[in-house]
Structure formats: structure tokens, C-alpha cells
Amino acid sequence: QVQLVESGGGLVQPGGSLRLSCAASGRLFSLNSMAWYRQAPGKERELAARISSDGWTNYADSVKGRFTISRDDAKNTMYLQMDSLKPEDTAVYYCNVRLGRFMYTDYWGQGTQVTVSS
């Protein structure tokens, strides 16, 4: 079905920036939304940002004003621009695709590591 591949993670200093990419295979039929989740060591996975099929976005309070989620439909790719990074942003970031409206199915990428450290 759907395969998702994240890229763009790495090591960055506090205050720096990274842009994550998530490439999806094929056409995303019945797309509900795409999202970036993250999981820090020893913590539960949390939603960082979501973008609906219509382009509406929402963000976790912890990343508002610093992260920007976007989507390029022609490339079947989603992005997460991360600015003003903090050590607390250190986590594995996972791409999520949700297909279906009321009854939906989630697909996940393998994750990409983001480490914010001086």
C-alpha cells in the first residue's frame, strides 16, 4: 500500500534549522491528512504538526511559531521546516499519512532522528 520515507534529520545546534521531508509512494487516495509525530527518548509519541488534505494545519503548542508543515502534492511529499530548534525538540520524527474520512487508516514512515545539541 502506502510507503513513507523520511529524510533530513541530523544534528543541529540550538537555534538552528532543519527541514524534514517525507516522500510517499504512489497516489494517496482518500487522503485525510498528513502529519509529523515525534518521540523523544523515554517519552510517548506526540503529534508535532498536521496538515489536512485541504491545507489546514495545526501544531503542538511546543512548536507553534517555530515549525511549519507543508505539502507538495505534485511530488507526494510532505515537509516540516523546523526553525529555532531547542534541545527539547530532540526526538525521532515520524511521517504519518491518514487515509479515509471517518474510518481511517494510518501509515507510518521509519522515522528520522533529529538531535539538537551544542
What would the 3-class secondary structure string for the chain be? CCCEEEECCEEECCCCCEEEEEEECCCCCCEEEEEEEEECCCCCCEEEEEEECCCCEEECCCCCCCEEEEEEHHHCEEEEEECCCCHHHCEEEEEEEEECCCCCEEEECCCEEEEECC
Give the mean model confidence (pLDDT) for residues 73-87: 95
Band the pLDDT of 95: cuts 50, 70, 90: very high
- The pLDDT value given to residue 26: 75
Q: What is the predicted pLDDT for the residue at 73?
A: 85
Is pLDDT larger for residue 69 or for residue 1? 69
Q: What is the pLDDT of residues 30-76, one digit of tens each?
A: 999 999 999 999 999 999 999 999 999 999 999 999 999 999 988 89
Model pLDDT, residue 19: 98
pLDDT of residue 78: 96
